Amino acid sequence: MPAITVSEHIDRAVRKVDKSTAIDHWDRNLGRYDAEELMTEVLGRKLTRAVLDRVLDSTSKQRFAAMVARRVNGEPIPRIKGHYAFRGLDLLIRDGVFVPRASSELLAKEAIRVLRRRRGQRVAVDVATGAGPVALAVANEVRDADVWGVDISAEAASLGKDNARRLGLRNAHFRAGDLLDALPRRLRGEIDVFTIHPPYVLRRDLKELPREIREFEPLQSLTDGSDDGLGLVRRLATEAHEWLKPGGVLLVEIGTYLSRKTQATLRAEQLVDVSWTKDDLGVTRVVSGRTPRSNARTGR
Ligand SMILES: C[S@@+](CC[C@H](N)C(=O)[O-])C[C@H]1O[C@@H](n2cnc3c(N)ncnc32)[C@H](O)[C@@H]1O
């Protein structure tokens, strides 16, 4: 059999990934992006012309074939690689914990913007933190802020801790618990910003999800079981008055189709200056609201 070049291995993989029914083919070049990303991971170098024209050695060939088979079966690329780049941070990824998405970079960016405008000791809390992408990016870019990530999943909190340790981010802390249960009580009334990328898929929509999400992400990372997808957001908006400083900000990353309902939810919970922003990806929006400057509910 003639020797096959790196470029030809990629072309063959593209054809396989393109045919997979387990994957959401939201971009017609997805198969190529995926195959190139996996080959880059295998070779540990950029795919220059010289690299593409090379014949692949047998160890790399086997590794690449195994990775492509996993992708064709629907496994998300970051899970196959075991790591994911988020706002310049290389994050570890593990089974049982939601894979971070590029769309969440906007949530981190907005939180960083809020914190940079505020003075004194600043505190940020990322609720439903997963592997901790938002909390870690905020801790990295606002080094003197105290940043907390909380998640109901013990695996998620443990992965967040491992990521913080690996990245040397001593201002990032992770705890496991329902909503805010695991936060130290001393943080009540001291928080500048809450971020949340909640599990917002409607219960009835779960079966419509592509296999790469339905079978590879933990159920509790996809839905909170509520009929409108906003159960967790509503609970956090209610609690926000107790935990945020007066004028503190709540930022919610949500599917574009839920943006209006999310805004209505924040207003119903007496948050003010409710608005939204989006980035070029256009898949999600960040809805924001803040507590009033003087808090009638808490008397502060
Ligand atoms: C869509 S994932 C987002 C993870 C992470 N913020 C990210 O963007 O990669 C939602 C997360 O919510 C967590 N979660 C679900 N119910 C929760 C609850 N009641 N309290 C805290 N976290 C919860 C899940 O474990 C999951 O990690």
Spacing, Cα 130 to ligand 1 middle (Å)? 5
79 domain-assigned: no
Does 120 lie in the same domain as 62? no
User: Which comes out higher in pLDDT, residue 205 or 123?
Assistant: 123
Look over the chain and give the mean of its residue pLDDT values, rounded to a whole number. Answer: 94
Does 100 lie in the same domain as 68? no
Question: Which span out of 21-30, 32-41, 207-216 was modeled with the highest average pLDDT?
Answer: 32-41
Does 193 lie in the same domain as 65? no
39 domain-assigned: yes
Tell the residue number behind the tokens 């072309």, with chain if given: 11
What's the pLDDT band for 279 if we cut at 50, 70, 90?
confident
Neighbour tally for 241: CB within 10 Å: 21
CA distance 113 to 128: 20
Provide CB contacts within 8 A for 246, sequence distance 6+.
291, 292, 293, 294, 295, 300
> Is the distance from CB of 94 to CB of 160 less than 8 angstroms?
no
Lowest mean pLDDT among 2-16, 152-166, 286-300: 286-300
Does 186 lie in the same domain as 38? no
Return the HEC string of 181-244: CCCCHHHCCCEEEEEECCCECCHHHHHHCCHHHHCCCCHHHCECCCCCCCHHHHHHHHHHHHHE
Question: Which residue segment(s) compose the domain that 132 sits in?
Answer: 96-290
Q: Which atom of ligand 1 is nearest to the CA of 156?
A: 27
Does 102 lie in the same domain as 235? yes
Q: Are strands 244-255 and 284-290 parallel, antiparallel or unpaired?
A: antiparallel
- Using the 3D structure, point to which of 41, 74, 107 is the last residue of a domain: 74
- The reported pLDDT for the residue numbered 204 is 86
pLDDT in tens, 30-78: 999 999 999 999 999 999 999 999 999 999 999 999 999 999 999 999 9
The pTM of the whole model exceeds 0.85: yes
Does 59 lie in the same domain as 108? no
CA distance 136 to 129: 10
CATH of the domain at 29: 1.10.8
Question: What is the number of structural domains in the chain?
Answer: 2
- Using the 3D structure, point to which of 74, 104, 126 is the last residue of a domain: 74
What percent of the chain stands above pLDDT 90?
88
- The reported pLDDT for the residue numbered 67 is 98
Provide CB contacts within 8 A for 286, sequence distance 6+.
106, 107, 110, 251, 252, 253, 254, 276, 277, 278
3-class DSSP state of 94: coil
85 domain-assigned: no
Does 113 lie in the same domain as 191? yes
- The reported pLDDT for the residue numbered 293 is 83
Neighbour tally for 212: CB within 10 Å: 20
> Is the distance from CB of 135 to CB of 110 less than 8 angstroms?
no
Spacing, Cα 54 to ligand 1 middle (Å)? 43
98 lines ligand 1 (CB under 6 A): yes
Does 112 lie in the same domain as 42? no
What's the pLDDT band for 1 if we cut at 50, 70, 90?
low
Does 100 lie in the same domain as 63? no
- The reported pLDDT for the residue numbered 149 is 98
Residue positions counted in the chain: 300
CA distance 253 to 285: 6
Spacing, Cα 297 to ligand 1 middle (Å)? 27
- Using the 3D structure, point to which of 44, 74, 104 is the last residue of a domain: 74
Q: What is the mean pLDDT of residues 106-110?
A: 97
Query: CA 114, 178, 86, 247: dihedral to nearest 10 degrees?
Result: 0
129 lines ligand 1 (CB under 6 A): yes
Choosing from 89, 197, 222 the residue with most ligand 1 atoms within 8 A of its CB, the one to mutate for a pocket test is 197
Neighbour tally for 82: CB within 10 Å: 11
33 domain-assigned: yes
CATH of the domain at 207: 3.40.50.150
What's the pLDDT band for 297 if we cut at 50, 70, 90?
low
84 domain-assigned: no
Residue 235 pLDDT more than 90?
yes
Does 272 lie in the same domain as 126? yes
Does 102 lie in the same domain as 38? no
Tell the residue number behind the tokens 């496991």, with chain if given: 176
Token pair of 183 as six digits: 């936060």
Spacing, Cα 1 to ligand 1 middle (Å)? 50
29 domain-assigned: yes
> Per-residue DSSP letters for 242-296?
HHEEEEEEEEEEEEGGGHHHHHHHHHHTT-EEEEEEE-TT-SEEEEEEE--SS-T
Does 254 lie in the same domain as 138? yes
| Ligand 1, atom 12, residue with closest C-alpha | 128
144 domain-assigned: yes
37 domain-assigned: yes
80 lines ligand 1 (CB under 6 A): no
